[in-house]
């Protein structure tokens, strides 16, 4: 998750949560267009990271 959020690797759930809120916090109260942009960004980033580790 830390890699998806582009932060240093950590097991600190609070730090992960804070990074998520900083990057994607607008999802809770936003326009449909902005919501799609944020979801697309999250999905694309998660896909990149998963592809990186797919062969491992």
Read off the pLDDT of each residue in 4-19 and give the average, rounded to a whole number: 96
Per-residue pLDDT tens digits for 27-44: 888 999 999 999 999 999
pLDDT for residue 56 is more than 90: no
pLDDT for residue 45 is more than 90: yes
Number of Cβ within 10 Å of residue 22's Cβ equals: 10
* Predicted pLDDT of residue 46: 96
Between 13-24 and 32-53, two packed helices, what is the crossing angle to 10 degrees? 130
Read off the pLDDT of each residue in 12-31 and give the average, rounded to a whole number: 94
């Amino acid at each position: 998750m830390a890699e998806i959020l582009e932060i240093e690797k950590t097991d600190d759930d609070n730090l992960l949560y804070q990074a998520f809120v900083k990057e994607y916090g607008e999802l809770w109260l936003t326009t449909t267009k902005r919501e799609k942009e944020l979801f697309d960004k999250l999905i694309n980033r998660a896909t990149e990271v998963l592809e990186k580790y797919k062969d491992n």
